[in-house]
Amino acid sequence: MKFDTPAGTNPIDQLKVVGKPTDRIDGPLKTTGTAPYAYERHDVASGQAYGYVIGAGIAKGRIRAIDLAEAKAAPGVLAIVTADNAGKLGKGRMNTAKLLGGPDIDHYHQAIAVVVAETFEQARAAAALVRVDYARAKGRFDLDAALKAAPLKGDSSGEGSSAPPIDRVGDFDAAFAAAPVKLDARYTTPDQSHMMMEPHASIAAWNGDELTLWTSNQMIAWGRGDVARTLGIPKEKVRLISPYIGGGFGGKLFVRADAIMAALGAKAAGRPVKVALTRPLMANNTTHRPATTQRIRLGCSRDGRITAIAHESGSGDLPGGGPETAVSQTKLLYAGANRLTAMRLAVLDLPEGNAMRAPGEAPGMMALEIAMDEMAEKLGIDPVEFRILNDTQVDPAKPERRFSQRQLVECLRLGATRFGWDARNPKPAQVRDGRWLVGMGVAAGFRNNLLMKSAARVGIDAKGMVTVATDMTDIGTGTYTIIAQTAAETMGVPLDRVIVLLGDSSFPESAGSGGQWGANNSTAGVYAACMKLRDSVAQRLGFNSADVTFAGGKVMSGNRSVPLAEAAGPAGLSAEDAIEYGDLDKRYQQSTFAGHFVEVGVDAWTGEVRVRRMLAVCAAGRILNPKAARSQVIGAMTMGVGAALMEELAVDKRFGFFVNHDLASYEVPVHADIPHQDVIFLDEVDPISSPMKAKGVGELGLCGVGGAIANSIYNATGVRVRDYPITLDKHLQFLPSVA
């Protein structure tokens, strides 16, 4: 199905199933522990052995020698694979560093060997007996030092966030110099880890020259291609299966060492092998969100209009990597005739930096939305009104290119009303509740909407059951349910008459889960296949496709009505199609918007910060399942609390690794940290986006939250902290005196 004109009225608009707050159909499996995750697939291959990955003990240098003798002689050991015996390996298109290191080492904890044994304990014990002689080389581990000579570098996150090395609109320098009110400030965000609950895990089994991987991966088609490239085998010889994923947040967009080492171990041992990365390897071996140093300059007229806006960001990555695209949203979010964005990329020898939930916008808005508050205070304008004053309905660099839908002003106004913003004292450090200093903060939320081709196969059997198959994944987002809702709505059957099969590379290729593009695109692909199937049913019955109704498990045209099961016949019917997009996303800017509101309390004695209330008002096209969408947003808001107040990978700048590489020392929010959260979705459809008229919310709920928390802390204390996370040591000494 080609989608190149705005969507008109279609079967989804019935909203009998789509748009309803629906329990997740996979919920019973998740809550009873019967949903089979990758490492738990004991049923798929007999005689599974265990692999234990050894990570490099240096960040930069070479392996002089590996002594495997003692490990090979250990009880239960079946095989040990290193770069010396693995054979020639390539590198995946999505990987920056090799997934098997040696003799050269690219980063700390790069996989250098996998020990395969009969039991996990035997593999782990034998791995401890492997002796590695390293030649350590000097590495680059200090971002601030490396940025001093870093070149300008443009790139794309691959998730809708992108910018050239430097981009100018108008004459920023002259406009900024002439502005009567100016802000020039520096902000930093730290390295962060995905820390998803389920580790990177895989089971590999070979059948001759054909490989099957049961793995935890968000993007099946990407993964299949990169496994093939890495192992040097045809893509047709690789099958990836990933029906359930216990969290990804971008960390499982790409093939990691668990999959490749399991495949190599299985080949060497001659039997299936399962591998799960330990928690320290998840932090240092896989990817992370890179740290940034950002400079924002704003110039305004005295009435609050932005006349000059500049956002410059620097980040680091391994050789061949890319920057954190933190300036992307600043190109589109606020008006201003004179603009400058620029990015610098330093070469670091730290583990690979790459996508983490809302790459680009999440750290970029943590800085931009503080800067907007700082400028509002300089101007003496309410922070909500300042943002509204500088709203734009067009791309500031291309005024002829309008937003397909843009309700940022409505998000801010409704949010202010619901949150009780008018009760906020604009003068900082004035509101107390016992020993707590209380403050409110606001930030805009912004995330682009990305369109991707997505396919599905839909069939009807002789019992009238509808089965959908697509390689789309469910990373805990409710994909099974919204795909079932789409098929039920389009084919006119109850939800319990739909079976959904996901996460298998033998199914049609979907958009996959990432960049908040999954819901809109995968359901649009299912819709396309359903519409093709409807045509086949109509043709079989001799109905006019343009005048046919599917409802109540029946197909109707004029005064004729035929049960869907009867229409399918004994052999059933199936159809496969994909949604393919034209140039609507080029003619219109497609984005999602939110207003984030936060109230915090800061202990006047200790500096401890407690979030008291949170509200997100979101405008993101049609909401396919409000219940699942709310869960996505409150989960993103929770991540925003972590990013603002506690999450930080501590870099050992001597030896080049992340020190706090486990859940004991890398702090994330727990239940006690999260207060009541409210989410409001504006009534919006976007016919420019897809036949579903939907967009995405999974990352929008994160973008801006950190800034809102930072602004609320300032309102509570009068202390402005520009370096995340905002831990008490950064403001304690500056807090108001306690009487």
> Any residues with CB less than 8 A from the CB of 689 and at least 6 apart, and which?
7, 404, 449, 451, 520, 584, 590, 621, 695
Query: Strand, helix or coil at 5?
Result: coil
- Token pair for residue 515? 């960049």
**CA 556/CA 293 separation, integer angstroms:** 62
- Host H or E run for residue 18: none
The partner residues of 680 in beta bridges, in order of sequence, read: 617
Contact in structure between 121 and 60 (CB atoms under 8 Å): no
Query: Strand, helix or coil at 261?
Result: helix
Q: What are phi and psi of 650, to 5 degrees?
A: -80, 125
CA dihedral defined by 280, 285, 287, 288, rounded to 10 degrees?
A: 40
Query: Strand, helix or coil at 322?
Result: coil
State how far Cα 5 lies from the chain centre. Answer: 29
Contact in structure between 580 and 691 (CB atoms under 8 Å): no
**CA 72/CA 55 separation, integer angstroms:** 18
Specify the residue for token string 């052995």: 49
Geometric angle at alpha carbon 103, from 353 and 132, rounded to 5°: 100
**CA 521/CA 511 separation, integer angstroms:** 6
- Token pair for residue 627? 């219940």
- Host H or E run for residue 417: helix 408-419
Other beta carbons within 10 angstroms of residue 13's beta carbon come to 15
Q: What is the DSSP letter of 598?
A: E
**CA distances to 425, 595, 650, 652, 656 from 141, in Å:** 43, 37, 11, 8, 5
SS3 letters for 106-162? CCCCCEEEEEEECCHHHHHHHHCCCEEEEEECCCCCCHHHHHCCCCECCEECCCCCE
Active-site residue 576, yes or no?
no
**CA 314/CA 344 separation, integer angstroms:** 5
Rg of the Cα atoms in the chain: 27
Contact in structure between 613 and 599 (CB atoms under 8 Å): yes
- Host H or E run for residue 616: strand 609-619
**CA 244/CA 26 separation, integer angstroms:** 10
Contact in structure between 403 and 591 (CB atoms under 8 Å): yes
**CA 21/CA 628 separation, integer angstroms:** 7
**CA 428/CA 444 separation, integer angstroms:** 20
Contact in structure between 574 and 529 (CB atoms under 8 Å): no
**CA 323/CA 163 separation, integer angstroms:** 10
- Host H or E run for residue 437: strand 436-448
> Any residues with CB less than 8 A from the CB of 236 and at least 6 apart, and which?
none
Q: What residues are labeled active site? A: 699
